[in-house]
Amino acid sequence: MKFFILFALVVQNTCTAILLRYISITRGTKFLFSTAILFQEIIKILISMGFLLYNQKYYKSQNFINPFIPWREVTKLIVPAALYAIQNCIHYLAPLLLDVPTMQVTYQLKIFTTALFLYVLLGRKLSYKQWSSLFLLASGVCLVHTCAPLEKKTATVPDLAQNKAYGICLVLLACIFSGFATVYYEKILKAQNSDIWIRNIQLGFWSLIFAVVNILIFDLSRVLGKGLLQGYSLVVWATLVANSLGGLIVSVVVKYTDNISKGFATSVSILSSSLLSHIIFKTALSPFFFGGAGLVCAAVFLYSRDVSEVQAPNSASLLKTTSFL
């Protein structure tokens, strides 16, 4: 069971990264990122509602509309929902500008930003081993960018060299937003001791609103002209489903395994997605990349190990459940 769960996490992380890159660079009728985010949020809400109904204790004792009551508590999730909305946009833009290995490794800096926000906002002290692993993480990312891999220019892979700096800035911005939103969301969950599926529905409610606003501002004319589903294919839908299942799989990993196992699975997914990118997109993997990726994998593993030694499994923080999407 444990092996199957970890294998599912590796497959989900790897497939999401590869699929996002593939649908971003393939030619043909392009789907709208804004509508993809909308459908992704709908899928997340439906999954959360499904688990909420599956919970027999909740189903027998409460009315289904209770996740939206009281409204004062629901409004607290506007901030993380707004940050996650921006982060979702970046997740669809970044694959246009960065190859899979560089994007995967760089995005692990979310651990660094989350740790900093935990220290600043919640006053959570980090051990010497954790600070050391964070330094190792930053060093690994810097080493990767010292000689970042480039995909060979082909009919399906455009020349991205001039846009790489912009892509890196977007990923770094996503790391900052992810860190702050994760800590903010954790503070709300622990303050109210709320059911995570109820909070996910509440969070999805605001995320859905932001997704609709995003469509109205940027893509209304195109939606009115060709509809919400323009450019959609089975590959696009597979990407949306894989993206939506990410948080669910990570929560299952934390519940049924441990943080060391999650760190190991994350490291394997970085390597597997990099190798697949080399095969599919002809990404050149330099010695600098392997050295930096090795440092990042070691940092993720060491940080996860230290967290597991300090915290009990049932008190796992959301820092451990942050996933790529």
pLDDT at 254: 60
Amino acid at 182: T
Whether residue 60 has pLDDT greater than 80? no
pTM of the model: 0.81
Q: Are 225 and 73 a contacting pair, CB within 8 Å? A: no
User: Using 50, 70 and 90 to split pLDDT, how confident is the model at 321?
Assistant: very low
The candidate with the shortest Cα–Cα distance to 50, out of 194, 184, 204, 181, is: 204
Amino acid at 122: L
**Better-predicted residue by pLDDT, 253 or 214:** 214
- What is the CA 249 to chain-centroid distance, rounded? 12
Lowest-confidence range among 45-54, 234-243, 313-322? 313-322
Please compute the mean of the pLDDT values over residues 27-33 and round it to a whole number: 74
Whether residue 315 has pLDDT greater than 70? no
pLDDT at 4: 84
The candidate with the shortest Cα–Cα distance to 73, out of 195, 244, 214, is: 195
